[in-house]
């Protein structure tokens, strides 16, 4: 394997590829297109009557939206993350850092200090389970203290790692690491994937460890296998092309977690408020949007991010109105029409299965 390049260089590659690279799934959607609401032509309410407040990871959000994990650890991330966090504060939504490995391993703080512009926003930290396995709880606590986050996402990314030129190949000890962090960290631990989705089995296993929140990061949007395939050469590039579309679609991952009583952030190809509303109707608590916010910043700076945040929130509120729902809680109980591509992922006897129109 080649010598490891600087972490900052890898993070810069990730930013460029996520803005305009060929990194979408090729033949797979996130299956939110397989969900339809039942239209209510007599909603008997105003758009302003829809209450989008929701609790997630110990914070109350004014809308069920998180700017999902993208970047950090490189000079360019400083402006990007501070602008995104500023907008998160303004709209009362969440913001998630990309991997904080540069901060943990190298003390690189670029892009990881935003609390001064987002004093009240939900901020989510982020570290890989392999890096967490090797780190002490004290060092991880220091990392989260420096960045001022409210919860720590521990990301699971074996498919991405085996393709990454500098990637890991040993994924043992993940459950023990998560259990240690749940017991010892002073903030909530969120288990998330990185573009390949969480199965019911994984949801059940982490719940037994005391995990209360998860992030699907399902397939159908940005393929992080594809991101690494673009950076790889030889065998690893071949592996990346072979496994480009690997994973559980986002909608299927939400369905798989139905009934486990986990707070679910639905990410993975979520690009607008209607998709967020569909994810919530399947059982998510909040929806996470990543690449579109990064692209909005690239094209329009902080004002582009503001415009997108406003549009996404309006779309969620209108989807609720047109479904006759006055709150996020009512959206989670809405009757749905689901096509067979997604139905086969829904566990029999789950609360979601009972709401599907036949």
Question: 2: pLDDT confidence band, cut at 50, 70 and 90?
Answer: very low
Query: Does residue 212 contact residue 263 with C-beta atoms inside 8 Å?
Result: yes
Minimum mean pLDDT among 21-35, 89-103, 192-206: which range?
Answer: 21-35
pLDDT at 135 over 70: yes
Cα dist. 269→25, 26, 194, 275 in Å? Answer: 9, 12, 12, 9
Between CA 98 and CA 155 the distance in angstroms is: 10
- 57-67 pLDDT, tens digit per residue, is 999 999 999 99
DSSP letter for 209, please. Answer: T
pLDDT at 352 over 90: yes
pLDDT at 12 over 50: yes
pLDDT at 121 over 90: yes
Question: 211: pLDDT confidence band, cut at 50, 70 and 90?
Answer: very high
Does the domain formed by 7-355 have CATH 3.20.20.70?
Answer: yes
What is the domain partition of the chain in residue ranges? 7-355
pLDDT attached to residue 4? 38
Q: How much is the average pLDDT of 99-117? A: 92
pLDDT attached to residue 3? 37
pLDDT at 20 over 70: no
**Alpha-carbon torsion angle 144, 92, 216, 317, nearest 10:** 180
pLDDT at 1 over 60: no
Q: How much is the average pLDDT of 106-129? A: 94
- Listed in sequence order, the residues at least 6 apart from 354 whose beta carbon sits closer than 8 Å to its beta carbon are none
Q: How much is the average pLDDT of 316-345? A: 97
- Take residue 183 and report the two structure tokens written for it: 């017991």
pLDDT at 5 over 70: no
Q: How much is the average pLDDT of 131-158? A: 97
- How would DSSP label each residue in 182-203? HHH-SS-EEEEESSS---HHHH
């Amino acid at each position: 394997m080649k010598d490891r390049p600087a972490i900052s260089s890898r993070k810069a590659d990730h930013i460029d590829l996520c803005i305009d690279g060929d990194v979408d799934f090729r033949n797979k959607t996130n299956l939110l297109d397989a969900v339809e609401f039942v239209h209510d032509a007599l909603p008997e309410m105003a758009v302003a009557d829809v209450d989008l407040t929701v609790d997630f990871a110990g914070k109350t959000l004014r809308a069920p939206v998180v700017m999902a994990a993208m970047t950090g650890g490189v000079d360019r991330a400083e402006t990007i993350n501070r602008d995104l966090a500023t907008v998160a504060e303004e709209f009362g939504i969440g913001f998630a850092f990309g991997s904080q490995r540069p901060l943990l391993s190298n003390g690189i703080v670029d892009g990881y200090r935003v609390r001064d512009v987002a004093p009240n926003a939900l901020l989510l930290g982020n570290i890989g389970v392999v890096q967490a396995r090797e780190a002490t709880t004290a060092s991880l606590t220091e990392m989260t203290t420096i960045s001022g986050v409210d919860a720590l996402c521990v990301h699971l990314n074996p498919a991405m790692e085996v393709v990454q030129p500098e990637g890991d190949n040993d994924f043992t000890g993940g459950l023990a690491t998560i259990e240690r962090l749940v017991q010892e960290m002073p903030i909530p631990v969120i288990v998330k994937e990185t573009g390949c989705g969480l199965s019911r089995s994984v949801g059940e296993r982490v719940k037994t460890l005391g995990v209360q929140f998860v992030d699907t990061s399902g397939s159908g949007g940005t393929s992080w296998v594809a991101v690494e395939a673009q950076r790889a050469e030889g065998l690893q590039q071949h592996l990346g092309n072979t496994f480009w579309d690997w994973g559980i679609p986002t909608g299927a991952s939400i369905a798989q977690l139905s009934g486990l009583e986990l707070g679910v952030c639905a990410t993975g190809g979520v690009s607008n408020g209607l998709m967020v509303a569909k994810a919530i109707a399947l059982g998510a608590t909040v929806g996470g949007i990543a690449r579109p916010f990064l692209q909005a910043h690239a094209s329009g700076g902080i004002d582009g991010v503001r415009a997108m945040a406003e549009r996404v929130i309006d779309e969620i509120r209108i989807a609720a109105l047109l479904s006759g729902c006055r709150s996020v809680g009512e959206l989670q109980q809405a009757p749905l029409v689901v096509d067979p591509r997604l139905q086969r992922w829904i566990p029999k006897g789950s609360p979601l299965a009972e709401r599907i129109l036949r």
